[in-house]
Amino acid sequence: MNEYNFAYLDEQTKRMIRRAILKGLAVPGYQVPFASREMPMPYGWGTGGVQVSAATLTPEDTFKVIDQGADDTTNAVSIRKFFENTAGVETTEETEKATVIQTRHRIPEAKLRKDQIIVYQVPIPEPLRFLEPRETETRKMHSLEEYGLMHVKLYEDISQHGAISTAYAYPVKVSDRYVMDPSPIPKFDNPKLEMDAIQLFGAGREQRIYAVPPHTKVVSLDFEDYPFEATKADHPCDLCGAEDSYLDEVIMDDAGNRMFVCSDTDYCRSRREAGHKGRLAEENAA
């Protein structure tokens, strides 16, 4: 690792990112512009999250990376190796042991602690972007707290589908002020956004950083007669039997057989190690 400055980025870049993080924490949910650097990975692979992690890590940290809840997918493995090589930090797959967790599109099932930091990879940080493509306009809408368009969008969901059909990247209002995209986490995870850990969001291509401090009020937008609902597949996990975790649906064969498994691989593994068994657990063990 001696070939690299600690955590890859040069110090001036880290200072710039750190200043953006501090302003982001001071104004929760507001997207702070930052001079995102090119990273040795393509946009869409977590360049924003990687830059925020690089500015946050210390040599004593234990780092965990998840991609859709899994520790063993390509994106998670490559980012974990990146920081093993450039920062020399310890890495882990166990949520409990991690001090910094970088995540793509999930919040771990285990409750995060006060001394932990979770870094989200964000593709499109602007929650209003698909409703209004012009940055000048969305910026004005945020400054005027003019979020009617977002409610119109949710209303149109109801008028077309009978329910709010937005299932991920479900918009939230942070600390009664800014509407924020919580990154494409399933709306099942939205209630967890009020947590004890520091939450940092990095969007590399879009050059934005934002943050939610611990214990900050985060409200999922909804209507009185159509309240927000955190939904998941109505099954227990087929491997560990968990009924409270977010599930992935896996197609098993051409005959339409399928199984549901925890998307959080660490949660599922720790439950199986504790002796919990799901419908297909025996088969899996054999």
Q: Which residues are catalytically annotated?
A: 29, 237, 240, 262, 268
For another protein, the binding residue among 40, 42, 59, 191 (CB under 8 A) is: 59
Rounded distance between C-alpha atoms, residue 95 and residue 108, angstroms: 7
Token pair 């692979």: residue: 45
Our finding on whether 177 is near another protein (CB under 8 A) is yes
- Integer-rounded Cα Rg, in Å, for the chain is 19
- Provide the Cα torsion 139, 141, 145, 151; round to 10°: -130
Our finding on whether 217 is near another protein (CB under 8 A) is yes
Rounded distance between C-alpha atoms, residue 162 and residue 154, angstroms: 11
Our finding on whether 134 is near another protein (CB under 8 A) is no
Rounded distance between C-alpha atoms, residue 250 and residue 258, angstroms: 5
For another protein, the binding residue among 42, 44, 58, 156 (CB under 8 A) is: 58
For residue 65, what are the β-bridge partners? 102
Our finding on whether 28 is near another protein (CB under 8 A) is yes
Dihedral sign of CA atoms 161, 162, 168, 171 in order: positive
Q: Residue 143 class from Cβ within 10 Å (0-12 exposed, 13-18 middle, 19+ buried)?
A: exposed
For another protein, the binding residue among 62, 166, 175, 284 (CB under 8 A) is: 175
User: Is the CB of 55 or the CB of 221 nearer to another protein?
Assistant: 55
Our finding on whether 57 is near another protein (CB under 8 A) is yes
Our finding on whether 211 is near another protein (CB under 8 A) is yes
Our finding on whether 258 is near another protein (CB under 8 A) is no
Our finding on whether 20 is near another protein (CB under 8 A) is yes
Our finding on whether 139 is near another protein (CB under 8 A) is yes
For another protein, the binding residue among 41, 216, 235, 241 (CB under 8 A) is: 216
For another protein, the binding residue among 78, 146, 213, 235 (CB under 8 A) is: 213
Rounded distance between C-alpha atoms, residue 148 and residue 141, angstroms: 9
Direct distance between the N- and C-terminal alpha carbons of the chain, in angstroms, rounded to an integer = 41
For another protein, the binding residue among 14, 80, 173, 271 (CB under 8 A) is: 14
Q: Considering CB under 8 A, how many residues would be counted as binding another protein?
A: 45
Give Cα 154 distance to the centre of its chain.
Answer: 22
**Interface with another protein (CB under 8 A):** 5-7, 11-12, 14-16, 18-28, 30, 32-33, 55-59, 114, 139-140, 142-144, 175, 177-178, 196, 198, 211-217
